[in-house]
């Protein structure tokens, strides 16, 4: 299985959720500007570019179809690949999607706000402005886990790369339409939870309802218990992979 991280994440994110199964291994490509991967030109930061990079890795390392999954931005990458390169995709694992099909969905606005602040201000000043914003106040009440993630971006380096990623990817989308998603013919699990403003449950529900072979697994919110969230996600993914094993 190839399992992609979220925006401004790295390989540790999917590794935390991947269950230990004797017949399966997990590979992650750290996207440009993420983890140990070089950023390159910022104008190449896009879901389409990241999907092309993942396709190249699958061709080089696997040579054939794999189960591809993702968390948040990784979901958009996986969906784009399933539509544009169906020859490479044998199954889908979609964890906490941040997009359905539309570009720049409203739920990505908090990421863009942080990107703008980091672009226009020094990190310490940007953090103060963010903490005093209505965005931070609303997330503190509705989705404290999202707020914690956003706070981490103010220490993520290089700051210029972080700002560009937050701005460009928040304004992007998977570049596919509903008909294309409805035409997918691979085993699919969608894993999501409530109390998440940046990864709203409605996106997961739409994907599960649109992909013919998909099922939705609702798990414990991270805001309630991170330990239970990880355990539930691993269990759901383990059951899915066991079901589709040859």
Domain check: are 56 and 88 in the same one? yes
pLDDT digits (tens, 9 = 90+) for 130-163: 999 999 999 999 999 999 999 999 999 999 999 9
Domain check: are 196 and 86 in the same one? yes
Domain check: are 84 and 204 in the same one? yes
- Give me the mean pLDDT over the 17-26 stretch: 94
Per-residue confidence band for 246, with pLDDT thresholds at 50, 70 and 90: confident
pLDDT of residue 33: 98
Which one of 143, 168, 193 terminates a domain?
168
Question: How high does pLDDT run on average in the chain?
Answer: 97
Domain check: are 60 and 25 in the same one? yes
Q: How many CB atoms lie within 10 A of CB 237?
A: 26
Domain check: are 79 and 7 in the same one? yes
**pTM listed for this prediction:** 0.97
Domain count, the chain: 2
Q: Does 195 have pLDDT greater than 80? A: yes
Per-residue confidence band for 66, with pLDDT thresholds at 50, 70 and 90: very high
pLDDT of residue 62: 85
Domain check: are 63 and 185 in the same one? yes
Which one of 142, 168, 194 terminates a domain?
168
Per-residue confidence band for 30, with pLDDT thresholds at 50, 70 and 90: very high
Domain check: are 128 and 158 in the same one? yes
What is the C-alpha separation between 4 and 94, in angstroms, rounded? 10
Domain check: are 227 and 196 in the same one? yes
Domain check: are 95 and 120 in the same one? no
pLDDT of residue 136: 98
Domain check: are 11 and 130 in the same one? no
Domain that holds residue 152: 106-168
pLDDT digits (tens, 9 = 90+) for 69-98: 999 999 999 999 999 999 999 999 999 999
């Amino acid at each position: 299985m190839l399992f992609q991280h979220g925006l401004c994440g790295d390989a540790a994110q999917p590794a935390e959720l991947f269950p230990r199964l004797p017949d399966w291994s997990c590979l992650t490509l750290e996207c440009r500007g993420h983890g140990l991967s070089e950023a390159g030109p910022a104008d190449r930061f896009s879901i389409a570019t990241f999907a092309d990079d993942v396709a190249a890795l699958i061709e080089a390392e696997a040579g054939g179809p794999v189960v591809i999954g993702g968390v948040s931005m990784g979901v958009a990458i996986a969906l784009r690949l399933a539509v544009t390169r169906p020859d490479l995709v044998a199954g889908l694992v979609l964890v906490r999607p941040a997009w359905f099909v539309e570009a720049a969905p409203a739920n990505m606005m908090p990421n863009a706000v942080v990107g703008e602040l980091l672009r226009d201000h020094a990190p310490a000043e940007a953090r103060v402005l963010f903490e005093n914003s209505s965005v931070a106040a609303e997330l503190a009440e509705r989705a404290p886990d999202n707020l914690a993630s956003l706070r981490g971006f103010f220490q993520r380096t290089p700051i210029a790369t972080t700002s560009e990623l937050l701005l460009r990817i928040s304004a992007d989308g998977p570049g596919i339409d509903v008909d294309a998603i409805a035409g997918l013919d691979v085993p699919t699990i969608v894993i999501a939870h409530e109390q998440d403003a940046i990864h709203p449950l409605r996106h997961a529900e739409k994907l599960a309802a649109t992909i013919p072979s998909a099922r939705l697994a609702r798990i414990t919110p991270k805001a309630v218990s991170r330990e239970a969230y990880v355990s539930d996600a691993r269990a759901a993914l383990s059951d899915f992979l066991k079901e589709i094993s040859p």
